[in-house]
Chain A
Amino acid sequence: RKEVEQDPGPFNVPEGATVAFNCTYSNSASQSFFWYRQDCRKEPKLLMSVYSSGNEDGRFTAQLNRASQYISLLIRDSKLSDSATYLCVVNPLGGFQKLVFGTGTRLLVSP
């Protein structure tokens, strides 16, 4: 089983739609969680950290469900500029920060 699993998509949504991605992780002791965004042929960039209580940053909401070992990303009011690949990232060990990246979920927002 992969340490971090994501649906590769693509998710095709119209502008203004709400879209959600889930990601599952295998190590129940995982300590920290992140969502990264990666545009085509560019480097990944940190979108947001994911906290146990859930957190929101503008149109983006991240949730953590430790019991079921998944994290989610909700994007409201999708924009064309949200089109990208979203990487789910987990630190499975705690302590030293050695992150494990999912292979990403591709989002395409159309006019």
Chain B
Amino acid sequence: DVKVTQSSRYLVKRTGEKVFLECVQDMDHENMFWYRQDPGLGLRLIYFSYDVKMKEKGDIPEGYSVSREKKERFSLILESASTNQTSMYLCASTQGDNYGYTFGSGTRLTVV
């Protein structure tokens, strides 16, 4: 089975801190995604990547950046954390068309 691993299950950070969320997949998938999930809003796409060093903005990229230096690793960076970035962050990968995503177990980030 594809495994998508997110480095932290729970994180608490202070406003203004730079935050790194790491995601690693073990199935050589080219496509990787970062979502956040909030009650009533569902999953919203922050950034995605279809190849090493390639990245594309999703629907809500403001306040975030990403890095994909290796195929298996896709990092989400909060440049200066704010309280409105308190959320569940989900990483996913897929092998391509007509295949669903496999998600990591999520990182619940609280910014205080």
Contacts and interface: CB of A to CB of B under 8 A. Distances in A.
Interface stretch (A56-64, A65-73, A96-104): A96-104
Contact of A42 (B43, B102, B106): B106
Nearest to A100: B45
Interface stretch (A13-21, A22-30, A44-52, A75-83): A44-52
Nearest to B4: A43
Q: Is the interface on chain A under 10, 10 to 19, 20 to 34, or 35 or more residues?
A: 20 to 34
A86 interface: no
B42 A46 contact: no
Question: Which 10 residue pairs spanning A and B have beta carbons closest together?
Answer: A103-B42, A43-B103, A46-B100, A101-B43, A34-B100, A32-B98, A43-B106, A97-B94, A43-B105, A101-B42
A103 to B, nearest CB: 4
Contact of B50 (A42, A94, A96): A96
A102 B41 CA distance: 9
Given A96-B50, A98-B48, A32 B97 contact: yes
A95 interface: yes
B90 A43 contact: yes
A34 B103 CA distance: 14
Contacts of B90: 43-44
A107 interface: no
A32 B35 CA distance: 19
Nearest to B50: A96
Interface in B63-112: 90, 94, 96-106, 108
